[in-house]
Structure 1
Amino acid sequence: MTATAETRAISPALFGIGTVEARFSYKIGPTIAGRIGQIRVDVGDKVQAGQVLAEMDPVDLDERIAALDAAIRRAEAAIQAAEAQVDDATARQDYAQTQTKRYEQLWKTRAVSEVAVETKRQDSQVALAALSAAQSNLVAAQQDLQRNRADRDGLIKQRENLVLCAPVDGVIAARNAEPGTTMVAGQAVIEMIDPKSLWINARFDQIAATGLRKGLPAQITLRSHGGASISGKVSRVEVLADSVTEENLAKVEFETLPDPLPPIGELAEVTVALPELPALPVIPNAAVQTVDGKAGVWEVEDGKVHFVPIRVGASDLDGDVQVMEGLLAGDEIVVHSASRLTRTSRIHITDKPAELFK
């Protein structure tokens, strides 16, 4: 069977294997060490943002909050007492100042002795010191109240953090512990995903990945959907490649989420349509042979065949490959032969490949 090289553009495609992943996943756990009190959801449950998923055992937090409430009330009473002391000390200091001024006027007329004036001055200074002490006590009581309120607010926030809520609408993906289990700070009790953010973490051979970029259309085949093809597009090409497997990584998202949703970790086949290439001579990929370590084709000329080395370029999924050097448009080549060809082989051209192998 023969074919003729023809000049035309081809649209190559890139084939890769990937796994279903969630773009946004959430690990929900306590911010302090504690014991799980109850869990209200199970794997597969759909939850809404703000919904309570689990609660940690508060241990003595409620009692500590109650103790701080009592301390706050005591500090408020201390402030009232300190304010009363300030009022009393202020009145005494005002009276002492008035008496001092009165005795100073009387001293000018020699109605009182100088000793009496000094005594009143001393009384005024004592009253001023008492006022300063009362004001300091008031400031200390106010600071005690502020500290107790801050401690109480901190405990209330800790108490609120013991209630584990869903940050967004999603689906429960994992339940890592059961009630009664002691968890450390930051350890995940519940894992959930946003089902609207599913995509494929795909891997492509680096040799064939030329032209892979964001926005290219793709077809996704999931094992759980009977081989049906689902439309998608390349969402992101990763900057870091896998140096061990020599593969480039890309994220491929669904244009429309499949129903039912595939499980996380399911294998998927991804075919990315690359941009159309410039027109060049194109031949069937099956015609390319290797002779004496060189890639080429058997060209038919005047009823005889001779081997022509060629340099091939990109290929598409239809089995066509571009010829960069070695052939021209219109050259006739052998695609299939009943036996291995040599330069002395006699050929009979047929359009029925199956007859070659009878």
Structure 2
Amino acid sequence: MKNWFAANRRLLGLLAVLLPLAGLLVFVALRAGPLAAVPVTVATVESQALAPALFGIGTVEARYTHRIGPTFAGRVATVAVQPGDAVRAGQVVGEMDPVDLDERLVAQEAGLRRAEANVLAAQAQMREVGARRSFADAQATRYARLLQSNSVSSEAAAAKRQEADAAAAAQQAASAGAEAARQELSRLRAERDALRVQRANLRLVAPVDGL
């Protein structure tokens, strides 16, 4: 017997190491391995609606893009919104620097007032010249009749005719001056309106609701 133990000492030592390892492997397999018991969770069956959900990573792009900007180059004075802010149609989102545009508008208004005064003066002159022509025409006609009856000399009748012709020329000149004054007034008004539009375009306004 002693000889058998002596002969198989190495085998016994190996078994002494392997048996605990085998037991440990069996224990682990039963507790956490494929042979382990499957935990069971009990839940109450309920009827609920399924809501579809979509998850992903992407880039949000605008469906419509509206470009806004001034009608002429300049410096930006103020910015009222930031990227991503919600804006309403008609909301001011920024404004350009008017530089000297306000002063030009003031000067244009002063020029308009002078032009309006010139038009009024030209109209008054036309009325005065028209009255003089009417009187000169009447005198020329009267002297022409008197000449037929030899009541006045031909020189006197000719002088009245010349006065009537001069009055007619003066009326034409006054009419041309009045027309020029009206055209100048129209030109200044158009320039004033253009400056007003240019001034209004300095305000950058959102054309539609959006971001």
Q: Does 1:111 align with 2:151?
A: yes
Aligned to 2:104: 64
Distance 2:121 2:99 in 1: 35
Deviation at 1:18, TM superposition (A): 7.6
Instruction: Report the TM-score when normalising by structure 1.
Output: 0.42
Q: Does 1:121 align with 2:161?
A: yes
User: What is the CA RMSD across the aligned residues, in angstroms?
Assistant: 1.4
Q: Secondary structure of the residue that 1:168 maps to in structure 2?
A: coil
Aligned to 1:40: 80
Distance 2:71 2:113 in 1: 29
Distance 2:169 2:69 in 1: 56
Q: Secondary structure of the residue that 1:28 maps to in structure 2?
A: coil
Distance 2:101 2:123 in 1: 33
Aligned to 1:23: 63
Distance 1:128 1:61 in 2: 45
Q: Secondary structure of the residue that 1:55 maps to in structure 2?
A: strand
Corresponding letter in the other structure for 1:163: R
Distance 1:52 1:168 in 2: 11
Please give the per-residue CA displacement for 1:195-239, whole angstroms capped at 9, x wherever unaligned.
xxxxxxxxxxxxxxxxxxxxxxxxxxxxxxxxxxxxxxxxxxxxx
Instruction: Spell out the pairing of 1:157-306 with structure 2 (5 A cutoff).
Output: 157-171=197-211
Q: Does 1:49 align with 2:85?
A: no
Distance 2:178 2:131 in 1: 16
Q: Secondary structure of the residue that 2:207 maps to in structure 1?
A: coil
Q: Secondary structure of the residue that 1:26 maps to in structure 2?
A: coil
Instruction: Report the TM-score when normalising by structure 2.
Output: 0.71
Out of 145, 150, 153, the residue aligned to residue 185 of structure 2 is 145
Corresponding letter in the other structure for 2:83: V
Distance 1:58 1:125 in 2: 55
Q: Which has the higher helix share?
A: 2
The percent of aligned pairs where both chains have the same amino acid is 52
Distance 2:121 2:162 in 1: 26
Distance 1:106 1:151 in 2: 56
Corresponding letter in the other structure for 2:153: S
Aligned to 1:100: 140
Distance 2:131 2:67 in 1: 63
**Structure (1 or 2) with the larger CA radius of gyration:** 2
Question: Any gaps of 5 or more consecutive residues in structure 1?
Answer: 1-16, 172-358
Aligned to 2:116: 76
Q: Secondary structure of the residue that 1:141 maps to in structure 2?
A: helix
Q: Which has the higher strand share?
A: 1
Corresponding letter in the other structure for 2:187: R
Distance 1:20 1:98 in 2: 87
